[in-house]
Structure 1
Amino acid sequence: MNFSSLFNLTLVLVSIVLASSLLARVKHEQPAPLHEMSSEEKLTTFRKIFDRMDSDNNHLVDTGELKSWIDLIHNRTAETAIKFRFSFLDENKDEQISWKEFRSLTFSMNSDDLEPKNYTQEQFRDLEKAFRADRLRFQVADLDQDDSLSVNEFRAFAIPELFPHMHFHMVQETILDLDWDSDGNLSVDEYLSAILQSNDEFPNDVTSREYDFFFSSRDKNGDGKMDKNEVKEWIAPSHFDPHEAEAEYLIREADSDKDSQLSFDEIMKDLNVFLNSGATNFGREIHEEL
Structure 2
Amino acid sequence: MSLWLALQTLHGRGLQKLLPKMQLHGRLRIWVCLALAYLIIMGLVHLFHLPLRSNTLHSHYDMTGEYVMAKHRASMQKEMEKLEVRAKAAEKLHMDPEEQINILTKIFKKSDENADGELDLNELSSAISKKIKEHLSQALRENFYMFTSIDNNPKNGRISWEEYHAYFLKQRGYDDAFIKNHKENHRHMPREIKEAIMRDKAAWSQAARDDPNTLTIDEFLSFRHPESSHATILTIVEETIGRLDMDDDNELTPQEFSDPSMNEVPDDMTLQEFQQERLHEFKTIIDTDNNGKIDRRELLMYIDPRNVHHAEKEAVLLLGAADVDHDGVLNLEEILDKREMFIVSKLVDAAKSFHDEF
Q: Do they fold alike, i.e. is TM over 0.5?
A: no
Please indicate the TM-score interval, normalised by the length of the shorter structure. Answer: 0.3 to 0.5
**TM-score, length basis structure 1:** 0.44
